[in-house]
Amino acid sequence: MSEQGTARSAVQTIEDPPITRALFGEVRWAWIWLILRLYVGWNWLAAGWGKLHSAAWTGSAAGTALTGFVNGALAKTTGANPDVQSWYAGFLHNVVLGNPALWSQIIAWGEFLVGLGLIVGLFTGIAAFFGSFMNMSYLLAGAVSTNPILFAIATLLVLAWKTAGWWGLDRWVLPALGTPWRPGYIFRGGPRPRVVPVPGKA
């Protein structure tokens, strides 16, 4: 046997446990992700909607609320075990406080669009990723609240991206668009496949 063949035969694939394959790859469990999606999505949608209709966030006084939040975070950088690390405080001070009105718009629209995407199940994995990114940003700024819970659920939704949006628009959008490593049917040409739930398959 050649060296290449020997090396290929030595490669082993470690399979995921059955419960992981079921939860993250079978559409029959998609109802679980629907419940979690709606919970996280509503939290983001409500938060973003409130900011979009707040003068201190996106109105005539845009940036005021964010400036207050950032200054509160910067006050947590002292002590032996600060809630806000110095490197992140530097980002808040030098980048965010440099243009609070712009960042207020980004945050408000980001929260709203993440919530909308999760609720309707459109690009669920991407929406959950950006939601978890914002949760982590708030945690780094010393804001706990529900951020750890939302971050944990969003992480699971990212892992379940193939089926988390089954009860939503992803049911039709993902087969049509596909992924960067496997384009969907609108790019490959050919007939549109019939989308039906098959137990044990994504």
* Predicted confidence (pLDDT) per residue in 51-77, tens digit: 999 999 999 999 999 999 999 999 999
Can you tell me whether residue 109 is helix, strand or coil? helix
The helix (H) or strand (E) run that includes residue 152 is helix 147-159
Within a domain: 7: no
More confident residue, 59 or 9: 59
Domain containing residue 69: 20-169
**Residue 44 scores a pLDDT above 80:** yes
- Residue 159: what pLDDT? 96
CA distance 4 to 96: 53
Within a domain: 161: yes
145: left (phi over 0), alpha (psi -120 to 50) or beta: left
- Residue 199: what pLDDT? 47
Within a domain: 76: yes
Tell me how far apart the terminal alpha carbons of the chain are, to the nearest angstrom: 37
Within a domain: 61: yes
Within a domain: 58: yes
- Please, are residues 119 and 38 in contact by the beta-carbon 8 Å criterion? yes
**Residue 195 scores a pLDDT above 70:** no
- Residue 187: what pLDDT? 83
Overall domain count for the chain: 1
Taking the whole predicted model, whether its pTM rises above 0.75 is answered as yes
Can you tell me whether residue 121 is helix, strand or coil? coil
Tell me the average pLDDT of the chain.
90
CA distance 49 to 18: 40
- Residue 193: what pLDDT? 66
